Structure 1
């Protein structure tokens, strides 16, 4: 099987790369990749690696992106936009609010998404009560995608749970909006341990990025209609 090499360096920000020349002037899109690893910086993370790979593919479609490692912030449990007392969720919330595409990248723990990913989704739930001037919930019009890694089974379930949460909150999920890697059961090999990215993963990541950029551009040009006022 042909394999794609891991990038030598993983940047935190990805500028636009538009080799096809298809991006129209003023058509800039932005993305934020939320790495939900349990490891604090500067520890290496499989979730962050796949998040960076997604951003690199998005940059090929006119999308500028950056990665945030959620565990580096003091995100408090809660159901409001700001839980006070040093809560750093508002910092991440601001970056999410200005992005067109939001990626949730999570490891697999005990067959489920990480507790960090769960907390990010729980805090996003508060956005249902925030509306724009046409009464649409704040996240309506944004694209939500997922990336899952782990040396145990669970990727399909985690994608399903993530998509359900994102959809409830107001995000739109593109066709084939998840990329993932599951290693051999009980092998102890992580995604970041691989010498190369498997071709199937690289192809899936590229397809997800292409569809996500297309959907984000479509929603920007033709937003969802206004919601009823009551």
Structure 2
């Protein structure tokens, strides 16, 4: 069965028409995933949605999370993208993780959370230190709530500290970013295929 990926852009920019370096990094990964026969359906700009604060799967009237949750769980691979702010993941990314906390109590009859058998990778950009810390934050939280993290699961670019050059403004994608994106995509696609054919027993 064909594998599908969904990307979440956790930039703080709510306007979907405003250019985002996270989108640029997600595009690098999307190209790499395409080479491994993984179809990326879309990129969701999370800040453009009204994701309510909370730790349940539905926080009531106007909450956009239930629809996004359904969309996320309809895919095999989640590309969790976002910028570094103050040396860590963005508040938008944290809101998504907080809402996924509900997975802990939404297990099936074998104790498996809705995210079991699904792969998560990271796409991180910034102009300061923090790429490793941000991926550590993401991966520990995602693993706690059932996601599977493959080997080499983060593709990132960090510019000069306090600099003004963003990833989206680079003339070309650095070779190491492209190489890493290909490795992320290959490992994620391989692991997703294995879990699709042989799910966790629970």
TM-score, reference length from structure 1? 0.85
Shift of 1:133: 4.6
Greater helix share, 1 or 2?
A: 2
User: Structure 1 residue aligned with 2:173, among 186, 193, 197?
Assistant: 197
**Distance in 1 of aligned mates of 2:6 and 2:175:** 24
How far apart in 1 are the matches of 2:179 and 2:70?
31
Equivalent residue in structure 1 for 2:161, among 170, 182, 185 = 185
* Matches of 1:42 and 1:126, distance apart in 2: 31
Aligned mates of 2:147, 2:133 — CA distance in 1: 19
Report the Cα offset of residue 189 of structure 1: 0.8
Aligned runs of 1:116-195 on 2, under 5 Å? 116-195=92-171
- Aligned partners of 1:52 and 1:67 also within 8 Å: no
Question: Could you tell me how far 1:64 is from its partner in structure 2?
Answer: 1.1
Aligned length: 200
CA contact 1:79–1:125 (8 Å) conserved in 2: yes
1:44 to 11, 15, 19: 19
Query: d(CA) in 2 for partners of 1:80 and 1:34?
Result: 19
The residue correspondences of 1:1-230 to structure 2 (distance < 5 A) are 27-40=1-14, 41-65=16-40, 66-226=42-202
Taking only aligned residues, the RMSD between alpha carbons, in angstroms, comes to 1.0
Unmatched segments (≥5 aa) in structure 1: 1-26
User: What TM-score comes out, normalization by structure 2 length?
Assistant: 0.96
Is this contact kept in 2: 1:33–1:67, CA < 8 A? yes
State the 1:188 CA deviation: 1.1
Q: Which has the larger radius of gyration?
A: 1
- Post-superposition offset of 1:135: 3.0
Unpaired segments of 5 or more residues in structure 2? Answer: none
SS at match of 2:178: helix
**Match of 2:8, SS?**
strand
